[in-house]
Structure 1
């Protein structure tokens, strides 16, 4: 079916040229790219969906976070430009970076996130994968297209795919999650510097019961899940944010859409820094001009090596 998306044109200013690791090939008319749903993938997706961390809930054992969020909503969207790095993550560990929106009421949570993830237990390898995740009414939630929910629209860019990264060289994601003005659906868009933005797909508004009038919270950051032994994996690019802006994991161009769909820098609202394990990870709010450009706006560096002494 043809879909419509109506919203202000999202702008992404960058200080680096757009680069691509591979040539994009579109699917034939009437088809879209979908990751094959094996029984193992669907089963593992359901298991990890129950464990997926979101800052609207209480901390879960073995989960650690480094990032920034704001409760000064309602918000209609969030966007950022952020790095993706290859990491050594154990089979029973997870490391990811995400942008997210959500609302909570009593024991109910509605939540959408997207970004990159290394999850050998889910994908069966150490590749960096893009992902989308939702949690809606009645406690239901899902990764990507492992179950009904997300509607893939783009014929070129799937919601989930492996990133072709060279060792030690970061890739970059430029993502936006935003609510359609007319339909109320929640779209994910890949923002491009020198080409039209690509609307990847959307989460129908019917999946949620707390997001009709926007989200109460937006945020960005890195998250890890430790193994059962208590060993936490690296986050970001595995380094503490003690060097230059490009020496560790970075989020920049962090913007939000306010209740009137106006694009604003996230730090124009009251924000809260999240860091729960200084032994293993760090967070540094931007105080210098990244990439020698001042128009990249609000940014921060994050990450660290992980280890056995990260706490619970």
Structure 2
């Protein structure tokens, strides 16, 4: 009679064999159908091989998958097989402990707002021991060449392709930030993007800024539905970058990706498209559609975003709505291993087009002076101190690259505390 131990071992072996059979497979036909028109004719075969190699590396074996109504495929991947643990340094420090939530998080309006995504709108979630990862496609890789590098207002030199309308605080020690953002579906043109987010940055003179960012973004170049999607973005230190270039991505695919985006991809990473972020939630998928969407002069829907440094592990954690999503290990960063020096809230638009100003909208597509129900907002603006306390922001500074295109205003109320309205239509008679 087979012992319980043998049965357990056989079951594990069966699961891993099954998982290997279910691993995503990408054919040259799939690639050509998705990207044929966007690739130079002489490079198509080589590019196809390189991108397919990368997709096989980044898309992990799964035990279950969901086909979302928006076309996304969400794979349920074993926690220990997620991309972050391809980095030996992170695998050796794998953590299962829950973070310490900042004090005061139960007393701020909007804290318990729930994040909703299309893929699990019927209540689905991944099985215990797995996490939902949006399957990376060839178009995700190609779009790296078309989406400009993410920027903060402190980037020097400034990039004219990126425009901001934000509130910020700086020149202090920050250990996190929180804001409640309402969700919109602005019109986005061509290869542009439009987003609403919070930034947590270190910005020491003479050194490249470390950055952790989270919010919602619309990128039609990647997702033709033009719907807002939950996103994160972060910049890595040289050691992690060296590992990615020389071990993870294969030299060939890395060379290809860096050729596509010589500045942006070396500087940062979206969602789970490269290893680094460690996801713990089994109900939320980075890069997936977020909703519901606010309507002009109608119902407003918003979600709380919080990034903070856990005082126990010293890792940077992400909470969206009432769900703790996961963490960025402190070892990913240089200056952010200690604390942040700059917090930003608001919107950003990227446009690589020349000539007249882009008509890509920010926020609701309306200027901030239109107010509640009509303009985008970030409310209950807070920062986290070294003692893990949430505090209202003070000395909030407003900044807009081109106020006639995208503007920002600020205010205070007993319910919203500190808040900003921001956004605009882009091209108009005063924004050429």
* TM-score under structure 2 length normalisation: 0.64
Count residues in correspondence: 298
1:179 aligns with 2:316: no
User: Who is 2:367 aligned against?
Assistant: 240
- Relative to structure 1, the CA distance from residue 15 to residue 51 in structure 2 (aligned partners, 3 Å threshold; closer, same or farther) is closer
Relative contact order (C-alpha < 8 Å, sep 6+): which is higher? 1
> Is 1:57–2:155 an aligned residue pair?
yes
Indicate the SS of the match to 1:146: coil
Deviation per CA, 1:253-295: give whole Å up to 9, x if none. Answer: 111101222211012xx332111212112211115x3xxxx23
TM-score by length of 1: 0.87
Q: How large is the RMSD of aligned CA atoms in angstroms? A: 2.4
Question: 1:46 deviation in Å?
Answer: 6.8
1:189 to 1:20, Cα distance in 2 relative to 1, 3 A: closer
Residue in structure 1 matching 2:209, options 83, 87, 109? 109
Per the alignment, residue 168 of structure 2 pairs with 69
| Preserved CA contact (<8 Å) 2:115 2:291 | no
Residue of structure 2 equivalent to 1:194: none
Within a 5 Å distance, the mapping from 1:169-248 to structure 2 comes to 170-191=300-321, 197-229=322-354, 230-248=357-375
SS at match of 2:388: coil
| 1:6 aligns to 2:106 (yes or no) | no
User: Quick check: which has more Rg, 1 or 2?
Assistant: 2
- 2:346 and 2:294 map into 1 onto residues whose CA distance is 22
- Note the residue ranges of structure 1 that are not aligned, 5 or more in a row: 192-196
- Higher helix fraction (1 or 2): 2
Hey, what's the Cα distance between the residues in 2 that align with 1:82 and 1:205?
26
Matched residues in 1 for 2:172 and 2:123: separation?
36
Unmatched segments (≥5 aa) in structure 2: 1-79, 81-94, 239-265
Between the aligned partners of 2:110 and 2:383, the Cα distance in structure 1 is 19
**Kindly tell me: are residues 183 and 240 of structure 1, through their superposed partners in 2, closer, same or farther at Cα, counting changes over 3 Å?**
same
Name the counterpart of 1:304.
Answer: 424
Q: Deviations over 1:99-139 (max 9, x none)?
A: 11011231322000000001112334311111000012135
**Structure 1: 4+ residue segments shifted above 6 A:** none
CA contact 1:7–1:181 (8 Å) conserved in 2: no
